[in-house]
Amino acid sequence: MPWRLLPVALLVAAGEARAHAFSPDAGHFYNGLMHAFIDPAQVLLLLGLGLLAAQRDLRTARVVVIGVPLLALFSSALPVPASWLGLAESLVLISAMLVAAAVVLARTISTQWLPVLALLAALGPGLVNGAELAREDWLIPRLYLSGAALGIFFLLMACFVPLAQARLALGEAADIPSRVLASWLLAGATLLLALRVA
Amino acid sequence: MLRFLLSLALLSSPLLAQAHEVTDMGRGFVSGFMHPLFGLDHVLAMVAVGIWGAQLGRPAIWVLPVTFPLIMTFGGVLGVLGMPFPGVEVGIALSALVLGVLVAMRRRIALPAAMVVVGIFALCHGHAHGAEIPDAANPATFALGFVLATGLLHTAGISLGLLDGFRRGIQLLRAGGGVIAVGGLYYLMLQVR
C-alpha cells in the first residue's frame, strides 16, 4: 500500500512550473507556435482555409496546406511597423470572412480563383507576426517565426485531415457540415470585425 | 481507492503555469457560450430551427442552420454598435412560439420563405447576444462562444429532427413543437404583461 501511494505523494508535492524549459530559447519558438491558437482571428481564418482545402480539388488543397504556412512565414519577414498590428488583424478577419463565404457558397464559386484567395489570406497572419515581432523586440525572430509557421500548419491540418477523410468517404454529402461550420466562422469573423470597428 | 487518491492529488496539485491566459479569453468564451444556453427562450427557438429544417428535408436541413448564424451576425453587429432594436425580447419569445407552431404543424413552406422567417428571428437573437458583447470579460471570445453555442443548439435540433423519418418520431416531434410553442407563449406573455 505505501508504494502505491508514491505516485500520489509525487503528484501532491508542489513543484514550480518550469515545464518544457529544456532550453532558455524554447519559449520564443513556443510563443510563435501558440500564436495561431490563441489569436481568435487567426483561428477563424485557418479553420476556414482547412475547410476550403478539404472541400475543393487537390490543387487548392496543395496550395493551402503547403503554400499558406510558407507564405505566412515569408511575409512575416517583411519590415512591418508595430503600429500596423491592428490593420493586419483586420486584414486577417476580412480574409477569414472571404474564405468562409467561399466555403458556404461552395460550387457556385469557380475553383480557379481559390488558390489566389488562399495565398492572399496567408498574408494576414504573416503581417500580424511581423508586427508582433516589431512590437516584442526581445523575441528571437527565426525561432518565433518557425514556431508560428508550424502552428499555422498544425491548425490547418487539424481541420483539413478529418474533413478530407469525410469527403473521401461521403463524397459531396460532406459539404453539408463544411458549409455549416463555415457559416459559424463567417458569423464569428464578422462579429470580431464589428468589435474592432466599434 | 487509489484512483480516488490520484484524482484528489491531481485536483490539489498547484497550478502555477497560467500561460496564454490572454486577457480573460477563457472567461469570455465560457460566458459567451453559456449566454444562449441560460436563456430557455433562446434554447427553444434554436432547437426548433434545427427540427424544422430537418422536417423540411434537404436542402433546408442545412440551409436554415447556415442562414440563422449569418443573419444573427447582423443583429449582433447592431447590438455591438449600440443601435436600438425595439421589441427584441418580444421577437425572441415570438420566435419560439412561431417556430414551435411550425414544427407542431409540420408546416412545409417554400425554402426562401422559410429563410425569411428564420432570418427575422435571427436578427432578434443576434441583437440580444451582441448587446452583451462589449461588457464581456473578453468580447472577442464571448462572440465566438455564443456563435458556437447557437450552432450546437441547431445541431441538437437537427439530430432530434432526424426522428422525422419514423412514424412515432413524427408524432414525438410534433408534440415537442407544441411544447416549444407553449414555452414561447409563456415568454411572450411575460414580455407583453
User: Where in chain A are the domains?
Assistant: 85-198
**Residues from chain B contacting residue A176 (CB–CB below 8 Å):** 61-62
The amino acid at A152:
I
DSSP letters for B113-167: HHHHHHHHHHHHHHHHHHHHGGGSSSHHHHHHHHHHHHHHHHHHHHHHHGGGGSH
Instruction: Enter the ipTM.
Output: 0.73
Q: Which domain holds residue B34?
A: 24-192
In a domain, B115, yes or no: yes
The total of structural domains in chain B comes to 1
d(CA A97, CA A103): 10
In a domain, B169, yes or no: yes
Residue with the three cell numbers 482545402: A53
In a domain, B3, yes or no: no
How many contacts (CB atoms, under 8 Å) link A and B?
A: 104
Per-residue pLDDT of chain B (193 residues; tens, 9 = 90+): 656 666 655 555 544 444 444 567 777 888 888 888 888 888 899 899 999 998 888 888 888 888 888 898 888 888 888 888 888 888 888 999 999 999 998 888 888 999 999 999 999 988 888 887 777 768 888 888 888 888 888 888 888 888 888 888 889 999 999 999 999 899 888 887 7
Query: Which residues in B have their CB inside 8 Å of a CB on A?
Result: 2, 5-6, 8-10, 12-17, 19-20, 22, 25, 61-62, 65-67, 69-70, 72-73, 76-77, 80-82, 130, 133-134, 139-141, 143-144, 147-148, 151, 154-155
In a domain, B146, yes or no: yes
Q: What are A71-93's pLDDT values in tens digits?
A: 888 888 888 888 888 888 899 99
In a domain, B163, yes or no: yes
**Residues from chain B contacting residue A8 (CB–CB below 8 Å):** 2, 5-6, 8-9
Residue A15's contacts (CB-CB under 8 Å, 6 or more residues apart) are B14
In a domain, B5, yes or no: no
Q: Which residue has the higher pLDDT, A3 or B190?
A: B190
Virtual torsion, Cα B170, B116, A95, A99, nearest 10 deg = 40
The amino acid at B184:
G
Which residues 150-169 on chain A approach chain B with CB closer than 8 angstroms?
none
